[in-house]
Amino acid sequence: MRSAFSRALLAYADRKDFVFLTGDLGFKALEELRDAMGERFINAGVAEQNMVSVAAALARKGLRAWTYSIAPFMYARPFEQIRNDVCLHDLPVIFVGNGGGYGYGVMGATHHAIEDYGALLTLARMRVLVPAFDMDVEPMVRQCFSAEHPTYLRLGLSEEPKNYVVPAYAAWRKLLSGPGATVVVVGPLVGGILSALRGVEPTPSLWLIGELPVENLPEEFLEDLERSGRLIVVEEHVAAGSAGQQLAHRLLELGKPPRQFQHRTALGYVSGLYGSQKFHRAESGLDPAAIAALVTTGGR
Amino acid sequence: MNSDAGIRELRRRAKLRLLRMHYESNVGHIGGNLSVLDIMLTLHHQVLRADVDEFILSKGHAAGAWYVTLWSLGLLSEEDLVRFHKDGTRLAGHPPARGIPAVSFATGSLGHGLSLAAGLALAKRVKSESGRVFCVTSDGEWNEGSTWEALIFVAHQRLRNLVVFVDVNGLQGFGTTREVANLEPLAAKLETFDIVVREIDGHDPDAISEAVREDGSAGRPIFILAKTCKGCGVSFLEHRMDSHYLPMNEAQYRQAVDDVTRS
């Protein structure tokens, strides 16, 4: 998604109110943007706390301030700066975290971000955007340029199935229709899950969420859920603060709890060993085969 | 504030109002407010241009000194000061995020202000705006790594429109700055960066006004180490650790008023 991200930003490079700050990352991805933006592209160095506070002040002065780093360095290291300097003042700073979830794979746990949006959504007015496909990035970037609140953009690696026509971006999208379980996914892992669920009988309905906090539940989703009575939420994020928890909370508020609720989340480091993103997903039961089996068997 | 007599009267009036505000609200942090008050008054009355310059108080625990300074400019009312630290106040114990137009950022967690000031200065450059950004840090907050991140940034970016004061009162939360995490000689350390470093008496208005001059800075940010006295002007508070925390009782308040009135 970094290439799609860079391409999308290039369209805005001439905007005089656009300032891009990177925490010394972007090699082989952001060079063209850097060259196009000139002095408004700032490598703030390996100093994320300062970068975020600087961005807050830029936003205070009416500039469109973007900050960029590997996801854990974007939200965890400068968390107090995000809280105090950005969110207390409701400034529309954009935080771009590359490699959400287990995206950095065998680079190790320090480079993973499996609690990023849950932590950030504890902060006032924070919005989170999670593209699932490369095609989602451009509309999300456009959305960021008109954001009125702090916004976290969690980039990953697009995993769209071959020859799949990605439906136009929306906060909620329905990727499969069927009488089976109602499955909700957040993020790029939906690509593999979509492929796996295509052969499952009865066909589940598959929904993809791209924006958090969870809100504005579509009527069609509620109808699907009422019919199936079974909700399965899958996300590459720990349970605490997750989209699944938010969705369950919202359904309780609406008086429409599902009869059965199953939540597949990032479980951390189950075996204590390290590997690719695929390895860690499998350890957490987030791999497509495990999700297909869950949907088929109804197991817990 | 054009005459020596005028300056003296302003300082006396502001200091008495600060003491009364903290006494009536039973609030501590008096020492660090008194150490920085002369810097605040001089900057706001003699240096800052309201239409173009900006100010960040990084040592947010000196909010009282800022509130009294804004009061002396007519930007806060007597009623505001009476409500200091009380339920429903605009004037929290540290500068608030909302409610006071002169306060652009909530501060109080140390180590944020220099980066915020850097961002304001950078924004001026991006927008081709005139004016300068002034920031006051404590000396204790130079323990914070983020302050050094900001120093690296402002020096590298050569933010010539940035002026930073360090209120060097020598005392921090639980000891002297030398005892807790000795950074001396701080001036020598700062001078290794591509910035201008000036050392002054932080209670001398003329020295404060002189130190902010742009000439001689060669396009670099200016850092002013202002030697001050924690609890300045109040005999039982001067250079004392407990002045960082403890509010005054009635007898102490009367003594403080007497000290300032006689000065």
**In chain B, which residue's Cα lies nearest the Cα of A88?**
B97
User: Model pTM?
Assistant: 0.96
Contact assignment for A85 to B153 by CB distance below 8 Å: no
pLDDT for B243 beyond 80? no
Q: CA distances (Å), A270 to each of A34, A76, A232, A280, in order?
A: 40, 22, 21, 8
Q: CA distances (Å), B213 to each of A34, B36, B132, B162, B216, in order?
A: 35, 19, 11, 11, 8
Contact assignment for B115 to A53 by CB distance below 8 Å: yes
- Which stretch of DSSP H or E encloses residue B181? helix B177-181
Interface of B with A in 65-94 (CB under 8 A): none
Q: Mutate which of B112, B127, B137, B148 to disrupt the A interface (most A C-beta within 10 Å)?
A: B112
**Burial category of B87 from C-beta neighbours within 10 Å (exposed 0-12, middle 13-18, buried 19 and up):** exposed
Question: CB under 8 Å to B4, separation ≥6 — which residues?
Answer: none
Q: What pLDDT shows up at residue A191?
A: 98
Contact assignment for B150 to A56 by CB distance below 8 Å: no
Q: What percent of chain B has pLDDT over 70?
A: 99
Q: Within a 10 A sphere around the Cβ of B99, how many other Cβ atoms?
A: 12
Contact assignment for A57 to B152 by CB distance below 8 Å: no
Q: What pLDDT shows up at residue B242?
A: 80
pLDDT digits 0-9 by tens, B40-98: 999 999 999 989 999 999 999 999 999 999 999 999 999 999 999 999 999 999 999 99
Strand partners, B61: none
Q: What pLDDT shows up at residue B104?
A: 96
Residue A53's closest CA among B146, B73, B204?
Answer: B146
Flag whether residue B109 sits within 8 Å of chain A, measured between CB atoms.
Answer: yes
Contacts of B98 in chain A (CB under 8 A): 89
Contact assignment for B149 to A81 by CB distance below 8 Å: no
Contact assignment for A84 to B146 by CB distance below 8 Å: no
Distance CA B156, CA B194 (A): 7
Contact assignment for A89 to B105 by CB distance below 8 Å: yes
Distance CA A233, CA A96 (A): 24
What is the C-alpha end-to-end distance of chain B, expressed in Å?
18
Flag whether residue B127 sits within 8 Å of chain A, measured between CB atoms.
Answer: yes
Q: Mutate which of A39, A53, A67 to disrupt the B interface (most B C-beta within 10 Å)?
A: A53
Q: What pLDDT shows up at residue B2?
A: 54
Q: What is the token pair recorded at A203?
A: 């066909």
Contact assignment for A57 to B106 by CB distance below 8 Å: no
Of B109, B123, B149, Cβ closest to residue A63 = B123
Question: CB under 8 Å to A205, separation ≥6 — which residues?
Answer: A174, A176, A177, A178, A180, A181, A182, A183, A224, A228
Mean pLDDT, to the nearest integer, of B182-201? 97
Q: What is the token pair recorded at B230?
A: 């924690």
Q: What pLDDT shows up at residue B114?
A: 98
Per-residue pLDDT of chain A (300 residues; tens, 9 = 90+): 989 999 999 999 999 999 999 999 999 999 999 999 999 999 999 999 999 999 999 999 999 999 999 999 999 999 999 999 999 999 999 999 999 999 999 999 999 999 999 999 999 999 999 999 999 999 999 999 999 999 999 999 999 999 999 999 999 999 999 999 999 999 999 999 999 999 899 999 999 999 999 999 999 999 999 999 999 999 999 999 999 999 999 999 999 999 999 999 999 999 999 999 999 999 999 999 999 999 998 655
Distance CA A215, CA A132 (A): 18
Q: What pLDDT shows up at residue B131?
A: 98
Question: CB under 8 Å to A276, separation ≥6 — which residues?
Answer: A105, A106
Residues of A with CB under 8 A from a CB of B: 16, 19, 39-40, 42, 44-45, 47, 49-50, 52-58, 60-63, 80-81, 84-85, 88-89
What does the mean pLDDT of chain B come to? 95
Contact assignment for B127 to A89 by CB distance below 8 Å: no
Whether residue A21 contacts residue A65, with contact meaning beta carbons closer than 8 Å, is answered with yes
Flag whether residue B117 sits within 8 Å of chain A, measured between CB atoms.
Answer: yes
Contact assignment for A60 to B123 by CB distance below 8 Å: yes
Least confident of A249-253, B139-143, B235-239: B235-239
How many contacts, defined by CB atoms under 8 Å, are there between A and B? 91
Strand partners, B176: B171
Omega cis (within 30) before B185: yes
Q: What pLDDT shows up at residue B229?
A: 96
